[in-house]
Amino acid sequence: MNLYEQVTNQIIELMETATSSQELWSKIGSTDLFAPKNHVTGDFYNGINILILAAAMQKFGYQHNEWLTFNQAKANNLKVRKGEKSTVCVFYKPIEKDTVNPESGEVEKERFAIAKPFYLFNVAQLENVTISNNETSLENEFSKIEAGEIILNNLIEKKGAAIQIGSSDSAYYVPSVDKIVLPAKEQFTKAEYFYSVLFHEASHWTGNKSRLDRNLSGRFGSQSYAMEELIAELSSAFTCAKTGIVKHTIENHACYLKSWLQVLKNDTKAIFTAAAQAQKAHEFIMN
């Protein structure tokens, strides 16, 4: 089994434990609202590794989203418990090789990246390590809303996004007129849910030809539609993780989950592509 198959199977296993898209994000979000980070450096993991580590947390019941390599544990006088298995993650190694241009006959440099594995342990797999809980306080709740409001204002004022709020009970992005439509904030049972849905629709918005130029022409039920929905869901999940906002979806459909699973089963590299595109969309929204 190659690296792509191994990672894809991990994500499929996570998805198959859920009955709907909302339940999937609830499973990921219920363990830790923050993005996975390195226990030693404090750096956050991104892209496909967010999904890999979320799958591991769900499968093994880890309560803390902090990770480190075996060598990092050893260098910091920490000990991985005997018999513990690592989680395989992915980094991209840049490769450069000489190729001959068939037209000019000149030697040119070809640059590309290949996926390589690296291995992480969760802090729960270490001996005698105490991790403080991320407790939710009223102050934290306000900071989440403030973060969401800052992103909303930046999208409108700095990025020129056309966002219409309160004119519809549904949330959607209209590519033909480049407009995001959202229900009124009061229609959500929790204030932070509004921003989670905003992040999803803003992720679609980033795919416009004038921005990240993704294929937004797919019809409901098609593979391209499922792929774009998966990208938007992942991007919004990444943004929620950064702000501490609970991932929420209005379209709580089992058919979405089924379509994503089909995409992954048809192409073992699809989740890598989706995660990479989602990371770009997330960064476009946050920058």
For every one of its 287 residues, what pLDDT tens digit does the chain have, with 9 covering 90 and above? Answer: 788 888 888 888 877 776 666 666 665 554 354 578 999 999 999 989 988 998 898 889 888 889 999 999 999 999 999 999 999 999 999 998 888 888 888 888 888 888 899 999 999 999 988 776 554 444 565 688 899 999 999 999 999 999 999 999 999 999 999 999 999 999 998 888 899 999 999 999 999 999 999 999 988 878 899 999 999 988 988 888 888 887 766 554 456 667 888 888 999 999 999 999 999 999 999 98
Q: Which long-range contacts (CB under 8 A, 24 or more apart) does 144-147 make?
A: 144/192, 144/195, 144/243, 144/244, 144/245, 145/191, 145/192, 145/195, 147/195, 147/243, 147/244, 147/245
The amino acid at residue 258 is K
DSSP state of 190: S
Tokens of 224: 């391209």
Burial class (CB in 10 A: 0-12, 13-18, 19+), 252: middle
Is 252:242 a contact under the CB 8 Å cutoff? no
Position 142 scores a pLDDT of 60
The amino acid at residue 212 is L
The 3-state DSSP class for residue 34 equals coil
- Residues 97 and 78: their CA atoms lie apart, in Å, by 40
Position 57 scores a pLDDT of 87
Tokens of 24: 């999937």
Instruction: State which H helix or E strand residue 243 sits in.
Output: helix 223-243
The 3-state DSSP class for residue 126 equals strand
The pTM of the full predicted model, rounded to 2 decimals, is: 0.80
DSSP state of 102: T
Bin 190: left if φ > 0, else alpha if -120 < ψ < 50, else beta.
Answer: beta
Tokens of 128: 């005698």
Position 33 scores a pLDDT of 41
Domain coordinates in residue numbering, the chain: 1-284
Question: Which residues contact residue 52 at a Cβ distance below 8 angstroms, ignoring those fewer than 6 apart?
Answer: 7, 10, 11, 87, 88, 89, 90
Position 98 scores a pLDDT of 85
Bridge partners (DSSP) listed for residue 108: 99
